[in-house]
Amino acid sequence: MTKKQSNCDGGSFFGGAAAGARSRVWFGGTYQEHWSDDYRLLVSYSGRSKVDCAFAGRRWQPAGGDTALCERLLREQDEPFLQRYFQAAAQAYFSAQNCLERGLPLSALYECYPCGADPLCAAELLRLCLDDCGMRLEDALPLAWRCCPDYAVTEEELAALVPLQPRTAALARLLRDNEQQIPAVLHDARLADYRRPFGAVRCGEALSLRLRVLSGRVDRAAVLFYGDSMHREEAMRREGDWFSYDASAPDEPAALWYAFRLETAQGERWLCPEGRGTGARLCETPSGAFRLTVFQRDFDTPAWFRKSVMYQAFPDRFAFSDDDTAQRGIEYHRALGQTPELHRDRSEAVRWQPRPFERDYSPDDFYGGTLKGIEAKLPYLQKLGVGCLYLNPIFEARSNHRYDTSDYLKVDPILGSNEDFERLCRTAESYGIRIMLDGVFSHTGADSVYFNRYGHYPSLGACQGESSPYYSWYDFRRFPDEYRCWWGFQDLPEVEETRPDWQDFVVTGHDSVVRQWLRRGAAGWRLDVADELPDEVLALIRRAAKEEKPDAPILGEVWEDAILKEGGAGRRRYALGDALDSVMNYPFRQAMLDFIHKRIDAYALRDFLTEQQLSYPQPMYYALMNLLGSHDVDRIRTAMAAPITLRHLSRPEQLNYPFREEDLACAVAREKLCAALQFAIPGVPSIYYGDEQGMWGTGDPFNRAPFMEDDRELFDYYVNLSARRKANDCLQTGAARFDACHADVLSVLRYVNHSCDVFGTPAQNGAWLLVLNRSDEARRFEADAREAGGGWITGTIDGCSAQWIKIK
Catalytic sites, residue numbers: 528, 557
Cα–chain-centroid distance for residue 563?
13
Taking each continuous run of H as one helix and of E as one strand, the counts in the chain are 23, 40
Torsion angle of alpha carbons 398, 399, 404, 409, nearest 10°? Answer: 60
426 close to 413: Cβ distance less than 8 angstroms? no
The string of DSSP letters for 53-96 reads EEE-SSSEEEEEE-HHHHHHHHSTTT-HHHHHHHHHHHHHHHHH
Across the strands, what pairs with 264? 218, 267
- Is the bond preceding 197 in cis, omega lying within 30 degrees of 0? yes
184 close to 137: Cβ distance less than 8 angstroms? no
Ranges assigned E (strand) in 520-624: 524-527, 554-556, 566-567, 570-571, 582-583
The string of DSSP letters for 388-403 reads EEEEPP-EEESSSS--
Output Rg (C-alpha) for the chain, integer angstroms. Answer: 31
Amino acid at 491: D
Q: Residue 795's CB: how many other CB atoms inside 10 A?
A: 19
d(CA 53, CA 23): 5
Helix (H, G, I), strand (E, B) or coil at 320: coil
Query: 440: closest CA among 428, 448, 432?
Result: 448
Query: 710: closest CA among 692, 689, 686, 688?
Result: 692
554 close to 563: Cβ distance less than 8 angstroms? no
Q: Is 594 exposed, middle or buried (0-12, 13-18, 19+ CB in 10 A)?
A: middle
Give the single-character DSSP code of 504: I
Query: 114: closest CA among 238, 237, 222, 16?
Result: 16
Torsion angle of alpha carbons 77, 78, 84, 87, nearest 10°? Answer: -70
Pairing state between β 201-202 and 195-196: unpaired
239 close to 266: Cβ distance less than 8 angstroms? no
